[in-house]
Chains A and B, each alone.
Chain A
Amino acid sequence: MATHTLSVLVENSPGVLARVASLFSRRGYNIDSLAVGPTENSEISRMTIVLNLDGHALDQVIAQLFKLINVIGISEMTDTDSIKREALLVKVKAKQSEREKVAAVAAKYNGVIVDESVASLTVEATGPSADIEALLKSLEQFGIKELVQSGLIALERGSVTLADRTLSTSGLAISDPNSATADYQN
């Protein structure tokens, strides 16, 4: 078992998130996180899906995802070839006496204090999953009242875009859907 990150370009049409969610649910695939939002093209949304499974199962997930008509392109985002980030908002218990300590811990992970009240501070941070995890661990000593995390988002390094590779002007490029390592298009 290993963690895999898929970037999935989908048509920005009603029900597409439900289709993807329904597929994962009925096939018994567990999603670690799912982030979805608009892209540079208003007709296309991008999902970043993090899954924990073995390589063979990943091929199957990708093939099944491609059966959804609204799915346009899929690419696995590797650690070396892509930038991966998560966002975090966390409300930490902070008495006056501990505020400086909280701020110092946050700063260590490029966190920023974005809200304060008598009994709490809210820290915002963005970074690789490991940093976010470490920040949370460090903040635990003060007491965490509430937190919210975005799913992971990922973008490839370099100038090539996922849309470039999955959508061409003359329709669509076709790659071998069997190849586990290739970028997936149909």
Chain B
Amino acid sequence: MIKFIGLFFLLIASGVANAAPDGKALFNKYCSVCHGTEGKGGVGVPLSLPSFINSVSDEYLKRTIRLGRPGRIMPAFPKLSEAQVNAIASHVRSWTNVPAVKFDPTPVTGNKEHGKEIFLTRCALCHGADGKGGKGTGVTFSRKRDLPIIAPALNNSGFLASASDTMIKNTLIHGREGTPMVSLLESGLTENDIDDVVAYVRSFQQIEKAEAQEEHYDAAIVVDSPYSLEETVENLKQAIENQNFKLIRTDYLEHGFVEEGKENKQQVVVHFCNFNFLFEALSIDPRVGMFLPCRVTVIEREGKVQMMTINPMRLSKLFNNDALNEACKTMTETYQSILEDASL
């Protein structure tokens, strides 16, 4: 009897595991937050453009979900099951109801040097000379919604692993209606020229591999202060203003958690902002707000005073957005300057 009950639960469990995944529900859970419920874009690029959906293969969609776009916001989803990935791709496909196009996986051969010449004159304006793509995220904050779609990063390892040569060639031949991507064939190039461009785009793969490297950063920037806590806070405020930041307020770490006046007075937080920098950072990636506004905490423990901040370079990795790295590097250097200035 006990084994029968066990078998019953086993059947329920296998039923849970084997139920056909709901592509729409999965899209809403994992994708819609960036791409919008109907794929119109947001933090992520728009997907629902018919000329896009109808010109990419299912394989391209599935590999894109699996691999993401390293450094271009789109995360990889390696833990989704094959059935779940298929279901999401089918849901995206359902927006146009046009059967998926299939591409011959045979590599395209061409003269990449000649392809480079064409790329630099015809493609680089939008895709960048090195194929790194347009700036910004999807259509929110960083750009107005009526602007054209951001040119994809053709040198991205996720893109190169997802797009076959023939898919790239097809896009070059036909262009993408509703985007600035025009047909190279109609604009005067021959099919051989287009093969050469494909060969050049494919050559980005080697460059990308050579540049891949992992860097490690400390979680926090910490500087000892030779002054008392009160003096350090005053020095800090002066150092912040010297860097053209606006002081917002000074409070305690426990502010809002304990009754006013009962906070730990040896954990002082100075909040500040440079609104120009803030606006630029939000334009690069609207998600960075969770580490705003800028702040330095001054603590006193066992007679020792320290100033500490987050390390923006460490956090930059969370966002999978290479465009944010430069801003985070600037902010890390600014924090270091402020702390050093305040400790002099």
A and B form one complex: no
What residues make up the interface of B, taking CB atoms closer than 8 Å to A?
Answer: none
What residues make up the interface of A, taking CB atoms closer than 8 Å to B?
Answer: none
